[in-house]
A and B are shown apart, each in its own frame.
Chain A
């Protein structure tokens, strides 16, 4: 159940199957992203893949000495492009891989186009999703729903992505969905339909406990994406934005040219891999260590290389040094930018209030804090709107709700119309009316005692009090306590044992905070493997 590995294996297999020789990888827009998430350029270069082309780029040259590996989504356009390509082949031989199920008629039309017998392979390799972390995948779909209902195109794409994931992990799951969400139900049905239709594909070795697919809707927990995050990966995403492991740093003041866009990938960046789930303070000290380490290894540039031994040492250490310097400069830049933003936007204070809004039930102090922050000129529009949104979500039906007053404050602060509209939109999207379960108030006695105890102990970290709702859901699921009236099974059969392999899919997008939760759950509960997915990975801006 490692999604990165699953995709990587597919790609490796493609390259391997095509044998030795110079190769070109022919992709479409989406598969380019899929491949780039799991393979770095230098890594794939070592496998003799020297060119990367888009199937839709017109400016490709005839290179008969290259082998072409086509990794494409089975869309109509791609098939058309491919037919044209095969009619006038530009490469010597074609290995065609579709990232999903392709129709027989498409295969036929392709076959008929291949008059020169250049196609050596036609296969389906189900790598049809973006593997972000080993346990986190995304489909990079923004705005998957229109109102409460699916955009039909996006529904089919989501279904494809989800089935591809199941196939790549070789899981044929039971499906549960969130009853309160119509979208979740639709998706569940669609997935089920595909499984039934392609039953021979889903014939895997049965495990004792069948895997479980849980489909949730974001509207059930609209809070999590609104909070400021303090773990490295989540923070970077929140403040800078991660898109297919790429971070755009071009807005950072005084950034050097080669750091405009950096890649943060746990696959080949050890520091990142080790620190992506640590919080900001820890990152600070780790980066300091990294720097010190680096300083030690850094050859003294001023010092003349006096002896041959010096030179030898220098030369031998140079690549490591260079690699390290790349890592160091990257992370130092990123962390520096993060801390700059934190200071500039007064995020520590904002976050404290956010957490208070999310986790505590003291209306008057929350209101007071929100009002205070709204007066603070350092707080940005976005953060201000976020605070109000949180307030609105939490105290939606509070007796002394002063949302109109806060909205006035927002307007006075000069927050643009766009953000102000968002507040009501969020309430509509994730308000109490929609929510199937209560986000804020503890539901049972156990939870109440827990919270009470927590209150006694004092909160360890004011900035990370909030636990995403997903945690609770999963916790219940693992213990077999998740209520069937809220999360019914699709189909007659139900799971009797505790689930082992769980795939959670959040319509409307997951967050890195939830990814962290899943990561921790995976670590702390042996025997349980959870993969989290979403139509996208959220930060507040999206």
Chain B
């Protein structure tokens, strides 16, 4: 330890820390210390001693406590062993049987042995370091020899007449050689050489290991410390080595053997086989499952009981998350299974056995835990459950309010006589619509349930609506009427409130979004919430109108503001393309076109094409859609126009919507059979299609999102259900696969057959589901712009949105070759959307993807609230189906499936890169076209609901 003071000098041996005297062994050092230094330096000694004692005490305490803990926990842990059905007949819990440890004995013996061994090794390494520390090339041989001799005293030549190893007599021909490490003599034949790299490796490794290796000695005595300490001080002198062929150090076989052993140890320490890395990952995943699964089960149990403590979406998210981990476990264990199978010398059978076992246990784990995951109720089921539960509460409330109502009824009957007549007529005319509406809106009540707390007004409305329903069911028309009246009043009030609120919220939100894209998820949640409210407001509003025509005045006013907020909201909710679609019609289209231009790959071409096409399209659009015309021409004029005037244009295409939107129902007769947009969309000469390589700045899915909130909402019911079903299917397919694997392993062929049959069945169903979703796309082109975006705030929104879009584009732009990323993620995104609907599944933040991610996440969020699946709307059917097929072709629909990983090289031309890229190419083309449509038409088709919604009757 003397070297601490003087790093320049390196000394080996058992040095006294005080006088630096070299004592030959630990024991001698100890006695020396006690004899020589017992009197002096009480301070130092005392310090050291107390330190040592403290350490010992602490250690003892620790050890003891550990031991006790272990004993305790052990005793508890073992009690829980199951008796496996054997009657444990009154036998008390049993503690662990007697044990006896020989460890300390063992260590004592070993330490004696190891001490010797380690001292040997360390001595050699220190000497080696000294020998390599100086510049060998430049030094004279005599000098080198002198140094070498100083390191270790050489044995006298005369003392050794024969080679100790081979026994040959030394002579002039058979010369003596000295081992530079221990000084002994051998003949040339028995001499070994240590190359400098090896020496370097050995010395530097011991340096490293010492810095990290904290007291490798299990034995408590301080020998190890001092011993190793001296090495570390030695190694602190960094050796600069000159590699030269003749620079090798002579040594005897014994020393070489010791050093080689050491080298092996070092190697083993550093080497981590692949299987370990994979296995560690696997274990991490399993831990995660162990954490998450109970939480999920709690949630699912609560949800299945119809409680609202947890939200279905959260539970779904969690489920998806857990499932993802399972997939990962599966994938990892598979990887482990196949590790090294293709290597040339095939791995040892035991390695294979190990791999098989790991795989097997992982399969067991997945089977056991995954099947413990109870399924969630579908959205509808959940509502049912919830309704059933709420029914009771409602009934109570109803009774409570019954007396109150009857009073009010008396009063209001007088004042409302005229209105009643009117309302009744409407009601009658509506026929069964409300009923259907109720069905269609079922999921909404879930959202309402949550937002109830937010607004007492809303709550009241909600209550009254349910009363109406009940009253209707009971056939009490008079009560219904009064209730409706009440409702109307409430709604009016609420509408106003909401409008204000919505405006404020959306503005705030627009700001936020720019700032907090990274906090996407949270934001999405909120948006979703807001969307719900908005929608509710709107729906209530429409109902109000349908119930009472006298109110045409306020109503006319309101649609003009409300719908706009909705639209704005829809825009906010992840439909940034909407704004881009809207922009061409705004007085300042340039801002919207900006990004497009930025991205049009070969600007010369793209720009030339772009403006004219936009123009032409623009011209076309107004002619087709009077509404848009109004929009761009005279925003104010719209205020006076009845919203109904706009409806003819949107009514017909939105046949699905009619149930949900009372507006359209009225106008249904007026419906124009064909949808001009549909026609104009697809055949439109598309300059953009030539620019396939252009990275569609926005997610192609974006295009689809310019949606009417109503439409979206109305679908949220089936939407919410479908993904679950689909997800379930996928999950089941996976499960069955696991079983097949299992069965195969067991060699049960009959079972395999049955399972395979099932699997096929499942796959067919899934394909049907998806297939069914494809074809209706075309005819389902729906109306978007029912709501005249004529609000005053509209421009603000658009600006906000544009800004966002631009931001996104810029972000994309920072990546030099964004294209390659584009295709894969889209397929992936699609998959996410279609099957999983979970933002957290998005591929990790790659810069060029971030914008996409943002969009997708938003969409998935919006999708959840607003009917989901938005993403796929951008695709026309062929692409969607292709995607479907592809995703089915994958064994695992996971993001880590090979496809998304395909890294398309930068310049992706029109010609595809082989088969796998075809879909992507198509996609890109599609996307390009879409994009254009959006810029030009405001209304792209919105087949979103289709892929998912179409099959809910399966």
Contacts and interface: CB of A to CB of B under 8 A. Distances in A.
Q: Is this pair of chains taken from one and the same complex?
A: yes
Given A45-B357, A170-B97, A315 B736 contact: yes
B117 A60 contact: no
Of the candidates B101, B102, B105, B360, the one having the most CB atoms from chain A within 10 angstroms of its own CB is: B102
A168 to B, nearest CB: 3
Contacts of B113: 111-112, 114-115
A522 B751 CA distance: 43
Contact of B84 (A112, A204, A267): A267
A6 B97 contact: yes
Contacts of B103: 121-123
B37 interface: no
A117 B110 contact: yes
Given A50-B354, A308-B728, A312-B728, A319 B371 contact: yes
A1 B85 contact: no
Contact of A124 (B87, B100, B357, B364): B100
Given A112-B110, A170-B95, A2 B102 contact: no
A13 B758 contact: no
B174 interface: no
A515 B646 CA distance: 90
A316 interface: yes
B96 A50 contact: no
Contact of A134 (B83, B348, B732, B747): B83
Given A5-B81, A65-B275, A201 B98 contact: yes
B86 A273 contact: yes
A273 B371 CA distance: 25
Given A107-B109, A134-B88, A115 B117 contact: yes
A9 to B, nearest CB: 5
B723 to A, nearest CB: 13
Contacts of B105: 104, 107-108, 111, 122
B645 interface: no
A403 to B, nearest CB: 43
B78 A9 contact: yes
A123 B90 contact: no
B636 interface: no
A257 B98 contact: no
Given A60-B350, A258-B746, A20 B283 contact: yes
B748 A258 contact: yes
Contacts of A314: 758
Interface string B117-155: 100000000000000000000000000000000000000
B552 interface: no
B235 to A, nearest CB: 21
Interface of B is mostly: helix
A273 B56 CA distance: 52
A61 B101 contact: no
Given A258-B748, A308-B728, A51 B357 contact: yes
A529 B92 CA distance: 10
B474 interface: no
Nearest to B746: A258
Interface residues of A, number: 83
A20 B279 CA distance: 11
Interface string A105-119: 001101110111101
Contact of B87 (A104, A304, A316, A523): A523
Nearest to B108: A111
Contacts of B368: 319
B354 A115 contact: no
Contacts of A274: 85
Interface in A3-19: 4-6, 8-10, 12-13
A240 B360 CA distance: 31
Given A10-B96, A308-B765, A523-B89, A112 B109 contact: yes
Contact of B110 (A13, A111, A167, A258): A111
A267 B83 CA distance: 7
A107 B109 CA distance: 8
Contacts of B19: none
Contacts of B107: 111
Contacts of A269: 84-85
A187 B276 CA distance: 50
A258 B367 CA distance: 22
A117 B732 contact: no
A102 B105 CA distance: 12
A167 B109 CA distance: 27
Interface string A221-263: 0000000000000000000000000000000000001100000
A437 to B, nearest CB: 29
A461 interface: no
A123 B99 contact: yes
Interface string B831-842: 000000000000
Contact of A22 (B272, B354, B367, B765): B354
B910 interface: no
A42 B361 CA distance: 7
A277 to B, nearest CB: 9
A417 interface: no
A395 interface: no
Interface in A149-191: 167-170
A12 B732 contact: no
Contact of A318 (B283, B739, B761): B739
Contact of B97 (A10, A51, A311): A10
B98 A311 contact: no
Given A61-B348, A266-B84, A526 B110 contact: no
A273 B78 CA distance: 21
Contacts of A444: none
Contacts of B762: 305, 311
A314 B765 CA distance: 15
Contacts of B78: 5, 9, 12
A126 to B, nearest CB: 6
A414 B360 CA distance: 52
Nearest to A316: B371
Contact of A522 (B89, B101, B351): B89
A473 to B, nearest CB: 20
B91 A126 contact: no
B97 A273 contact: no
B361 A46 contact: yes
Interface string B727-744: 011001001100100000
Contacts of B110: 111-112, 114, 117, 119
Interface in A262-290: 265-270, 272-274
Contacts of B40: none
A391 interface: no
A104 B108 CA distance: 12
Nearest to B765: A308
B874 to A, nearest CB: 28
B375 interface: yes
Nearest to A308: B725
A204 B98 contact: yes
Contact of B268 (A64, A102, A272): A64
A312 B732 CA distance: 7
B350 A61 contact: yes
Given A51-B350, A122-B102, 13 more contacts: A9-B94, A9-B97, A45-B357, A48-B361, A50-B354, A65-B276, A111-B109, A126-B99, A168-B97, A168-B98, A308-B765, A312-B728, A319-B368
18 contacts: A2-B88, A6-B94, A6-B97, A20-B283, A22-B279, A45-B360, A48-B361, A63-B350, A111-B113, A116-B265, A123-B102, A124-B102, A168-B97, A201-B98, A265-B84, A273-B85, A308-B728, A523-B89
**Nearest 10 A-B pairs (CB), nearest first?**
A273-B85, A168-B97, A111-B109, A61-B348, A50-B357, A267-B84, A45-B361, A111-B110, A167-B98, A122-B102
Interface of A: 1-2, 4-6, 8-10, 12-13, 20, 22, 42, 45-46, 48, 50-51, 53, 59-61, 63-66, 92, 101-102, 104, 107-108, 110-112, 114-117, 119, 121-127, 133-134, 167-170, 201, 204, 257-258, 265-270, 272-274, 301, 304-305, 308, 311-312, 314-316, 318-319, 322, 522-523, 526-527, 529
